């Protein structure tokens, strides 16, 4: 294991929690940012020894404060997993200005704010891994999720541009695009809709949060040291 200090945003539930558990189990010194799930955050801290930081990363000042708390606790930063995000199902014509702004502020601006706050430390140590969690809908778009799809497409572009800029500083930047994953983010989907999505997936199952955590583990490792600017789907072949 070469990278030892990791920060996960949106780390109290779903994919983020799976990443916190996985990195902690591997011996990484782990911190995570969360906003609302106090009980889940406390359990992760108690069981896995991860440092919980409560903050709203859509607020640039809070994101900067949380990032500095992570650096202070970890003694630096080797791996950043930008996972925090929200979703909303709405017809395009029903999306309000507030809906659009909230989606962009969390899913896209939040990635920018946290990364900006940490990248100086990575540059100074001439190493680091940035792993952005996007979505397959950023690639192929989802009906009734235009604002969500647009925010995740933005993460694709940010990943590739930042990989070019930070490569000379020894920092890799990659994006994971999960498909339909069994987390509470998909709780609004009915059983019938979940079955239909499963049937549209070549591997004929819904993904698990651990599927994404395992790829995050690989991208954080020395084995992935020559991989950067890549967008990798973890979707069972759905977006082929």
Per-residue pLDDT tens over the stretch 4-20: 999 999 999 999 999 99
| Paired sense of beta strands 51-54 and 171-178, if any | unpaired
Q: How many domains does the chain have?
A: 1
Q: From CA 81, how far away is CA 223, in angstroms rounded?
A: 17
pLDDT at 3: 55
95 falls within a domain: yes
* Continuous H helices in 54-188: 60-74, 97-104, 110-125, 137-140, 146-166
Question: What integer is the mean pLDDT of 131-159?
Answer: 98
38 falls within a domain: yes
Tens digit of each residue's pLDDT (9 = 90 or more) over 184-222: 878 777 889 889 999 999 999 999 999 999 999 999 999
Which residue in 34, 51, 113, 148 is the catalytic one? 148
pLDDT at 186: 80
pLDDT at 1: 44
Cβ-based neighbour number of residue 172 at 10 Å: 22
215 falls within a domain: yes
Cβ-based neighbour number of residue 142 at 10 Å: 15
Query: Average pLDDT of the chain?
Result: 96
Question: What integer is the mean pLDDT of 51-78?
Answer: 98
The dihedral formed by the CA atoms of 108, 33, 142 and 186, expressed in degrees to the nearest 10: -170
Tens digit of each residue's pLDDT (9 = 90 or more) over 38-64: 999 999 999 999 999 999 999 999 999
239 falls within a domain: no
pLDDT at 190: 86
pLDDT at 119: 98
pLDDT at 191: 87
Which band of pLDDT confidence, cut at 50, 70 and 90, is reported for residue 141? very high
Smallest CA-to-CA distance from 148 within 197, 102, 196 is with 102
Q: From CA 134, how far away is CA 110, in angstroms rounded?
A: 13
Q: How large a percentage of the chain has pLDDT more than 90? A: 93
Range 93-97 contact pairs with CB under 8 angstroms and sequence separation of 24 or more: 95/146, 95/147
pLDDT(223) > 70: yes
20 falls within a domain: yes
39 falls within a domain: yes
81 falls within a domain: yes
240 falls within a domain: no
Q: From CA 28, how far away is CA 24, in angstroms rounded?
A: 5
Is 28 among the residues known to form the active site? Answer: no
pLDDT at 17: 98
Tens digit of each residue's pLDDT (9 = 90 or more) over 149-190: 999 999 999 999 999 999 999 999 999 999 999 998 787 778
Full domain range(s) for residue 210: 5-234
Instruction: Quote the DSSP letter at residue 137.
Output: H
What pairs with residue 80 in β-bridges? 7, 130
Instruction: Quote the DSSP letter at residue 36.
Output: S
Length of the chain in terms of residues written: 240
pLDDT at 36: 93
Q: From CA 13, how far away is CA 206, in angstroms rounded?
A: 17
Q: Which CATH number goes with the domain that contains 202?
A: 3.40.50.720
């Amino acid at each position: 294991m070469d990278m030892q200090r990791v920060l996960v945003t949106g780390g109290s539930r779903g994919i983020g929690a799976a990443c916190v558990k996985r990195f902690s189990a591997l011996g990484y010194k782990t911190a995570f940012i969360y906003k609302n799930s106090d009980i889940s955050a406390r359990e992760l801290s108690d069981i896995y020894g991860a440092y919980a930081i409560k903050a709203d990363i859509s607020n640039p000042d809070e994101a900067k404060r949380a990032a500095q708390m992570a650096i202070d606790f970890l003694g630096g930063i080797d791996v950043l997993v930008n996972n925090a995000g929200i979703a909303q199902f709405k017809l395009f014509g029903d999306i309000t200005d507030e809906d659009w702004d909230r989606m962009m502020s969390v899913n896209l601006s939040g990635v920018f704010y946290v990364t900006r706050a940490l990248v100086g430390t990575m540059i100074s140590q001439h190493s680091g891994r940035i792993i952005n969690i996007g979505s397959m809908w950023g690639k192929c778009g989802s009906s009734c999720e235009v604002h969500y799809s647009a925010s995740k497409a933005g993460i694709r572009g940010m990943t590739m541009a930042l990989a070019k800029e930070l490569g000379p500083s020894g920092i890799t930047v990659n994006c994971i695009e999960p498909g339909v994953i069994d987390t509470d983010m998909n709780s609004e989907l009915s059983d019938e809709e979940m079955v239909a999505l499963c049937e549209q997936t070549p591997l004929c199952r819904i993904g698990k949060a651990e599927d994404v955590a395992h790829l995050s583990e690989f991208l954080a490792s020395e084995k992935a040291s020559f991989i950067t600017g890549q967008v990798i789907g973890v979707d069972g072949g759905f977006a082929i």
